[in-house]
Amino acid sequence: MTIEKRMCCMILIFPLITMAQGTDSESTREKWLQYMDRVARPVLSNIAEDRLKETMPVELSKHIDNPEYRKEVAYLEAFARTLSGISPWLNTGTGSAEEKALRKTYRDWALKGIANAVDTTKNDYLVWSGYQPLVDASFFALALVRCPWLWENLNDGTRENVIHSLEASRPVIPVYTNWILFTGMVEAFFCKYHLPYDPVRIEYGIREFSQHWYVGDGMFSDGMHFAMDYYNSYVIQPYLNNIMTAVHSRDKSFDWVLPDLEKITSRYAELQERSINPDGSFPVFGRSIVYRGGAFHHLADMALRNKLPSEMKPAQVRAALFAVIRKTLDAPGTFSDDGWLQIGLSGHQTELADFYINTGSLYLCSAIFLPLGLPADDPFWTDPEESWTSKKVWEGIDVPADHSYNK
């Protein structure tokens, strides 16, 4: 890196680093926004300028299976995953004058970025067809499902390009795992916005998980075999919930799953909250662990949708998730000198990466910022600080015993 380039990066990043450390006078929401901004800014600002491919470094797992292909699809991964995490915040109008100004900037970036991503004449036109693009086309569809404001404010030409881009994912036959929810999410987008959709692709994912792949105590297997990892949170339960929400107003033929799904997702939220240690760390097991805070996609999504278990206070979830944010983003080496995420869970740890991991993959950590889509006056933000379960227990505080859920 040249001296001039390093100085430019310091000018951009240093204020964000300083703010992210927080002060007593700052609200918790402001601190969350500072972390979100640090993660999302490089992706959104560059794709808005049609420069994402030019500026984003692509670090590949040491065990990568197909280096050229993984680099080619990394940019859609970064953009779609970032957008899916911040989209509820883009959909709100709440907050201080400073927050509203920041949101306006991000809205402008998002609209321009989407336009560039689906326009074949742009440098940042992204790869939408193929196996990995199906995954991230679904995250992009999820972003639009979570943020009607984006869809409503795209111009007609960009809307048509979005439709064609998402349709490009349809020829892919998904792997018989959580991937069947990727095709379901794309169709859920079409359903939500009254576009032609295939209800079979939606029903397929819902039926397989609800009727064949539930293994008990709030968890699904990821296909035919159960694995002790975070895919119930990375994908399965947030996708099931958001697909159901997206299609409910237009098609109630899937509502039969709701009573059981609500109990299952509530129980898994309990397990997620209890797995966060007093210092914000959490068990390191299963694949894709370098998604960092994305391991709590489900808990963050349940908070956003006001579906937390009745005995779980929003303030304790806020505190627990913020502890994870700090633990996974403050470690030295988390960001490159240019401000991009680097492979790891607590810093830069390349051996942790599975064969499909690249820089773009890491931006699933944006999912932990979902509660920013709640109004600033929501109890999640305004209730007094509350310790989460493991913190209370290891401080010697007595709490109710945990009990399994039997369907």
Residue 14 has pLDDT above 60, yes or no: no
Average pLDDT, the chain: 94
Q: Determine the average pLDDT of the residues in 121-133.
A: 98
Residue partners of 5: CB distance under 8 A and separation at least 6: none
Residue 83 has pLDDT above 70, yes or no: yes
Q: How many CB atoms lie within 10 A of CB 256?
A: 12
Note the Cα 356 to chain centre separation in Å.
18
Cα 323 to chain center, whole Å?
17
pLDDT at position 349:
98
pLDDT of residue 176: 97
Name residue 73's amino acid: V
Q: Other CB atoms closer than 10 Å to residue 402's CB: what's the count? A: 9
The 10s digit of each residue's pLDDT in 89-113 is 999 999 999 999 999 999 999 999 9
Torsion of CA 91, 269, 224, 261, to 10 degrees: -70
- Domains defined along the chain, listed by start: 3-394 (1.50.10)
Nearest alpha carbon to residue 309 among 276, 274, 378, 263: 263
Among 201-210, 244-253, 294-303, the minimum mean pLDDT is found in 244-253
| Residue 382 token pair | 């305004």
Q: What is the pLDDT of residues 311-330, one digit of tens each?
A: 999 999 999 999 999 999 99
| Residue 22 or 216, more confident | 216
Give the range among 33-37, 59-63, 249-253, 277-281 with minimum mean pLDDT.
249-253
pLDDT of residue 407: 78
How far is the CA of 48 from the CAs of 65, 157, 249, in angstroms? 30, 17, 33
Show the DSSP H helices in 49-167 as ranges. 52-55, 67-90, 97-117, 131-146, 148-153, 156-167
**What secondary structure does DSSP assign to 153-213, as a single string?**
HS-HHHHHHHHHHHHTTTT----SSTHHHHHHHHHHHHHHTT----HHHHHHHHHIIIIIS
Q: How many CB atoms lie within 10 A of CB 307?
A: 13
**pLDDT beyond 80 at 18:** no
Give the 3-state secondary structure of residue 230.
coil
| pLDDT the model gives residue 24 | 41
pLDDT at 16: 44
Q: Which residue has the tokens 């969350």?
A: 32
| 3-state secondary structure (DSSP) of residue 260 | helix
How do strand 214-216 and strand 219-220 relate by DSSP bridges?
Answer: antiparallel
Mean pLDDT of 142-147: 98
* 8 Å CB contact between 182 and 134: yes
What pLDDT, on the 0 to 100 scale, is given for residue 249? 85
What's the whole-number mean pLDDT along residues 35-51?
A: 98
**Average pLDDT of 296-304?**
99
| Residues 177-225 pLDDT 10s | 999 999 999 999 999 999 999 999 999 999 999 999 999 999 999 999 9
Confidence grade of residue 236 (pLDDT, cut at 50, 70, 90): very high
Q: Above 50 in pLDDT, residue 370?
A: yes
Determine the pLDDT at residue 26: 64
